[in-house]
Amino acid sequence: MYLKVRVIENRSIGHPAQGIFRLVLSGQAAKIAKPGQFLHIQVSDTYDPLLRRPLSIAGIDKNKEEITIYYKLLGRGTDLLTHFKENDYLSIMGPLGSEFTVPQQGELLLIAGGIGIFPLYSLIQAIDQEKVKIHLLWGGENIDFLESADLKYLVNSGVNVKISTMDGSLGHKGLVTDLLQEMVQDSSMIALRCNNLVSAACGPKGMLKATAEICLNNDIPLEVSLEERMACGIGACLGCVCTVRGADGTVKRKRVCKEGPVFRAKEVVWDAEC
Ligand SMILES: Cc1cc2nc3c(=O)[nH]c(=O)nc-3n(C[C@H](O)[C@H](O)[C@H](O)COP(=O)(O)OP(=O)(O)OC[C@H]3O[C@@H](n4cnc5c(N)ncnc54)[C@H](O)[C@@H]3O)c2cc1C
């Protein structure tokens, strides 16, 4: 569970002001990693800060035994992480958590808000695009953010991408859920649904809640990755619980780090006090 992994690359990508970094790690964790899972990373060589930081697995190369992660510089933990250099060793726990379902045929609709795109990268990578057509709706603050978070990778990946930005600097001006609403009202949606449409999303909680409402009202099965703040990462401290409702109507508390981060959207009780 605890592993020392070698840093292959750890550098700022895109516009420096956006603070997006790509971290490539070498280690056997890649052999068992699945899309949707995360690594819990010790961000310094000491126990200060005590808590590890959870970061999603964005790329898995089983042959080279490499895992790619993208992270946004936010606070002390991610700042410390930027100091690790090529050939340094990092202590990780993982891969941890539940995984996205990888469809084998049909249509896959992905909805990403901001840095919520990162776990979806590994799902895209796992899909056989000869058999599954991918449609991605991605919203961000502005074009600089989207470019920094590797828009070019998506454009080159063959995925059908629609973009929204809050300032209108690229694509639709407004929310990514506007694009989703527009899409479900479009007549081409009928064809997608006939071809086994499923969906997955990651982003801020408000965006996920709105996405879940639209998908579920339109009978589109949706999986969501919840990125609650978390502490231990192994289900012991209960710091990251969310509320879900089972098929029989009973309400339960589940740990995002252990039973999640990927949940079926229809189970999540969005307005519960976490
Ligand atoms: C399962 C999971 C997967 C994640 N994957 C990624 C990823 O692939 N790339 C990435 O950049 N980030 C990801 N995050 C968020 C990342 O863990 C936090 O941004 C990071 O821990 C912040 O640490 P820090 O010490 O730099 O910031 P802190 O000093 O701890 O916090 C700085 C600011 O960030 C906010 N913040 C911290 N954690 C979160 C969170 N989980 N959600 C929303 N706001 C938060 C705080 O409220 C505060 O405003 C993920 C989180 C989870 C739970």
- For 249: left if phi > 0, alpha if psi spans -120 to 50, otherwise beta; the answer is left
Running along the chain, 274 residues long, what does each successive block of 10 average in pLDDT?
92 97 96 97 89 96 97 96 97 96 96 98 97 97 97 91 98 98 88 87 97 95 92 86 89 91 95 68
pLDDT of residue 87: 97
- Between the CA of 233 and the centroid of ligand 1 the distance, in Å, is 13
pLDDT of residue 273: 61
Residue located nearest, by CA, to atom 30 of ligand 1: 75
Exposed, middle or buried: residue 271 (CB in 10 Å: 0-12, 13-18, 19+)? exposed
Q: Is 70 in the pocket of ligand 1 (CB under 6 A)?
A: yes
Residue pLDDT, tens place only, 204-223: 999 999 999 999 999 999 99
Residue located nearest, by CA, to atom 45 of ligand 1: 229
Q: Is 77 in the pocket of ligand 1 (CB under 6 A)?
A: yes
- By the 8 A CB rule, do 70 and 58 touch? yes
Q: Look up residue 258 and give its DSSP letter.
A: T
- Between the CA of 67 and the centroid of ligand 1 the distance, in Å, is 19
> Is omega for the bond preceding 261 within 30 degrees of 0, making it cis?
yes
Residue located nearest, by CA, to atom 39 of ligand 1: 229
Residue located nearest, by CA, to atom 28 of ligand 1: 75
- Between the CA of 77 and the centroid of ligand 1 the distance, in Å, is 9
The gap from C-alpha 221 to its chain's centroid, in whole angstroms, comes to: 17
Torsion angle of alpha carbons 104, 108, 112, 115, nearest 10°? 20
Total-model pTM: 0.95
Q: Is 261 in the pocket of ligand 1 (CB under 6 A)?
A: yes
Q: Is 72 in the pocket of ligand 1 (CB under 6 A)?
A: yes
Atom of ligand 1 nearest to the CA of 230: 53
Q: Look up residue 248 and give its DSSP letter.
A: T
pLDDT of residue 259: 93
Q: Is 48 in the pocket of ligand 1 (CB under 6 A)?
A: no
Go through the domains of the chain in sequence order and give each one's CATH number.
2-96 (2.40.30.10), 106-225 (3.40.50.80), 228-274 (2.10.240)
Q: Is 203 in the pocket of ligand 1 (CB under 6 A)?
A: no
Q: Is 78 in the pocket of ligand 1 (CB under 6 A)?
A: yes
Beta bridge partners of 39: 55
pLDDT of residue 187: 80
- Between the CA of 229 and the centroid of ligand 1 the distance, in Å, is 6
pLDDT of residue 240: 86
pLDDT of residue 92: 96
- Between the CA of 78 and the centroid of ligand 1 the distance, in Å, is 8
- By the 8 A CB rule, do 229 and 239 touch? yes
> Is omega for the bond preceding 95 within 30 degrees of 0, making it cis?
yes
Residue pLDDT, tens place only, 240-258: 899 999 888 899 999 998 9
